[in-house]
Amino acid sequence: MKKLIIFDAYGTLIAAGAGYREAVRRIPELTECGVNPELFCEEWKILHRQHKEEANGNGYLIEAEIFRKDLSVLYSRYGITGNRNKDADFMQTALGVSKAFEGAADAVNQLKKKYRVIIGADSDTEPLLLNIRRNGMEPDGIYSSEDLKIYKPDRRFYQKMLHSCGGEAENTIYIGNSYHEDVEGPASAGIPSILIDRRRTHTQDGKHTVQPLAVVHSLYNLVQLLEKMQPNQR
């Protein structure tokens, strides 16, 4: 019987992408250089992921420092002479005012009636707490990469959460929107998952060696599925 639900935050409960694109549009130096904010954000996402992986292997950096590292590389690439530290802080601030997906608070608070529900995310602690609280979510626990000193999809991220909250992998379900970070990553720690695939891009074509317990297309569908899996008592 499953007892613990772990939600990813960004891209699963909270829509962060639009906030980053808006932040990029408001950086004057990028606008003056004619940088396409969509392309800049796509390059940034790739670089950000690489820098997080490097931080897992070479000494943890808080995400604010990784933002600065990202922009240092990208500004050099584009020949931009803006204040990289200030702009990195500005991009992270944008993360703290992201809106939740429709039904996110209802999903978290409804599932708490039958499960322990925690949220774990690649994020510094302060913006994560701001987003969870301002969007009306009240989980039983919140864990940031800053708390855990590790980033997804390193198995230690998931193991540290379980150890801290007293959970057991076999009694847990991890919920997220990224195959790499929210299906493969938890599986490396023995945790089964449910994938939220809003764009309906996930296929069982042999390319994915690890499969989630289920694939759903909305938080509403997720709640329906999980309520069927669990008896009434938490």
Average pLDDT of every residue of the chain: 89
Query: Among residues of the chain, what percentage have pLDDT more than 90?
Result: 62
Q: Mean pLDDT across the stretch 152-175?
A: 96
| One-character DSSP codes across the chain | ---EEEE--BTTTEE-HHHHHHHHHT-HHHHHTT--HHHHHHHHHHHHHHHHHHHHHS----HHHHHHHHHHHHHHHHT--S-HHHHHHHHHHHHTTPEEPTTHHHHHHHHTTTSEEEEEESS-HHHHHHHHHHTT---SEEEEHHHHT--TTSHHHHHHHHHHHT--GGGEEEEES-HIIIIIHHHHTT--EEEE-TT-----SSS-SS--SEEESSHHHHHHHHHHHS-S--
pLDDT at residue 205 in the model: 64
pLDDT score of 218 more than 70: yes
Place 234 in a pLDDT band, splitting at 50, 70 and 90: low
Q: Regarding predicted confidence, which is higher, 207 or 62?
A: 62
pLDDT score of 192 more than 90: yes
pLDDT score of 96 more than 70: no
pLDDT score of 164 more than 70: yes
pLDDT at residue 141 in the model: 96
Place 38 in a pLDDT band, splitting at 50, 70 and 90: confident
pLDDT at residue 231 in the model: 61
pLDDT at residue 37 in the model: 80
